C-alpha cells in the first residue's frame, strides 16, 4: 500500500545520488579505501527511479552492487577528486542531491609511479596524506533555489543519543537540508542488507527514524526529502 501511495511522486525530478567508497591510490597496485559497500546509495537510486525520478548514480567502486535499471544513468568514479568533479558536473541540473558515498578525507600526497618496495622503507613506512576538499560543502555553497541536498554520516557512537547529537552537529556544520546518520563499528553497519537511520534537518529536528531493509530506509529517506521540499515551497 505504501508503494502504491508513493508511485510517481518523484515524477519530473532529477535526483543525483553518490554511492560507494572512493579509493585513493598509493602506487599502481595499492590504495587507501573504506568499508562502504554502496548498498544504501544504490537502494536510494533505485527507489527514486521507481518513484518516477530521472536518476544519476555517481558510483565509486560499485562493481557487483550496482544493478542496471530503467531511469538510472551510472557515472563511474574512483577517487574523491573524481567523485567531486562528477558531482559538480551533475549538480546544476539536480533537484535533489544525496551524498551517500563514503568520500576519502585524505589522499596520498605523492603517489608513486612504481610499486613501493619494502627495501626502500625498512621496518616502517610513513605516508603523507593531504586533506581532500569537502564535496558536499561545495554543493551547498553553490546550491540553487529549490535544490534539496542530503548528506550521510556513519558514526562510531556509544548510544542513540550520541548518534543524534553527532547528526545534529554535522547537519548544522554542513548546511545540508537533511542528514541521515547511522551507527557503525567493527561488527556493525557494513555489508548488510539492513540499516537503521536517524534523519535530521539543518535545525536539528528529527525528520524520520527508520530501521529495516536498505530499500525500506531508501524510501523513508525519499519521503523525508519530499516533506522537506513541501516545507521549503509552502
Ligand atoms: N563528504 C564530502 N566530501 C568529503 C568528505 C565527506 O562530500 N571530502 C560528504 C559525505 O559524502 C557525507 C558527508 O560529507 O555525505 C558527511 O561525511 P563525514 O565523513 O561523516 O563528514 P566529514 O565532514 O568528513 O567529517 P568526519 O569524517 O571528520 O566526521
Ligand atoms: Ca569524513
Prediction ipTM score = 0.99
**Closest alpha carbon to 197 in 217, 167, 173:** 217
pTM of the model: 0.96
Q: Is 34 a catalytic residue?
A: yes
Q: Say how far apart CA 168 and CA 74 lie, in whole Å.
A: 31
In contact, 80 and 24? CB cutoff 8 Å: yes
End-to-end Cα separation, the chain, in angstroms: 26
| pLDDT at res. 69 | 85
In contact, 221 and 229? CB cutoff 8 Å: no
- 208 alpha-carbon distance from chain centroid: 17
- 149 DSSP assignment: E
Residue nearest to atom 4 of ligand 1 (CA): 134
| pLDDT at res. 234 | 44
Residue 99: CB within 6 Å of ligand 1? yes
**Ranges of the chain with pLDDT below 50:** 234
| pLDDT at res. 122 | 97
| pLDDT at res. 3 | 60
**Closest alpha carbon to 139 in 82, 86, 88, 83:** 88
Q: Any long-range contacts for 157-160 (C-beta under 8 Å, 24+ apart)?
A: 157/183, 160/198
| pLDDT at res. 4 | 63
Residue 174 annotated as binding site: yes
Q: How far is the CA of 154 from the centre of ligand 2 (A)?
A: 9
| pLDDT at res. 68 | 79
| pLDDT at res. 2 | 58
Q: Give residues with Cβ within 8 angstroms of 27, minimum separation 6.
A: 111, 112, 113, 114, 115, 116
Kindly report the number of other CB atoms within 10 A of residue 26's CB atom: 18
Q: Say how far apart CA 10 and CA 214 lie, in whole Å.
A: 19
| pLDDT at res. 5 | 64
pLDDT, one tens digit per residue, over 181-203 is 999 999 988 888 899 999 999 99
Residue 152: CB within 6 Å of ligand 1? yes
Amino acid at each position: 500500500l505504501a508503494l502504491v501511495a508513493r508511485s510517481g511522486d518523484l515524477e519530473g525530478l532529477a535526483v543525483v545520488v553518490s554511492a560507494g567508497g572512493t579509493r585513493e591510490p598509493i602506487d599502481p597496485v595499492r590504495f587507501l579505501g573504506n568499508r562502504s559497500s554502496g548498498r544504501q546509495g544504490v537502494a536510494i537510486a533505485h527507489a527514486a527511479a521507481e518513484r518516477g525520478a530521472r536518476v544519476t548514480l555517481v558510483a565509486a567502486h560499485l562493481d557487483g552492487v550496482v544493478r542496471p535499471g530503467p531511469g538510472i544513468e551510472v557515472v563511474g568514479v574512483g577517487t574523491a577528486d573524481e567523485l567531486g568533479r562528477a558531482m559538480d558536473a551533475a549538480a546544476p541540473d539536480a533537484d535533489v542531491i544525496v551524498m551517500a558515498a563514503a568520500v576519502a578525507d585524505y589522499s596520498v600526497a605523492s603517489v608513486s609511479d612504481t610499486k613501493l618496495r619494502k627495501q626502500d622503507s625498512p621496518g616502517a613506512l610513513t605516508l603523507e596524506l593531504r586533506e581532500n576538499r569537502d564535496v558536499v560543502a561545495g554543493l551547498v555553497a553553490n546550491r540553487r533555489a529549490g535544490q534539496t541536498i542530503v548528506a550521510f554520516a556513519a558514526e562510531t557512537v556509544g548510544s542513540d543519543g550520541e548518534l543524534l547529537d553527532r547528526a545534529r552537529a554535522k547537519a548544522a556544520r554542513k548546511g545540508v537540508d537533511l542528514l541521515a546518520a547511522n551507527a557503525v563499528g567493527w561488527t556493525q553497519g557494513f555489508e548488510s542488507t539492513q540499516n537503521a537511520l536517524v534523519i535530521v534537518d539543518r535545525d536539528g529536528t528529527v525528520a524520520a527514524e527508520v530501521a529495516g531493509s536498505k530499500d525500506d530506509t531508501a524510501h523513508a529517506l525519499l519521503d523525508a526529502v519530499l516533506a522537506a521540499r513541501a516545507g521549503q515551497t509552502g
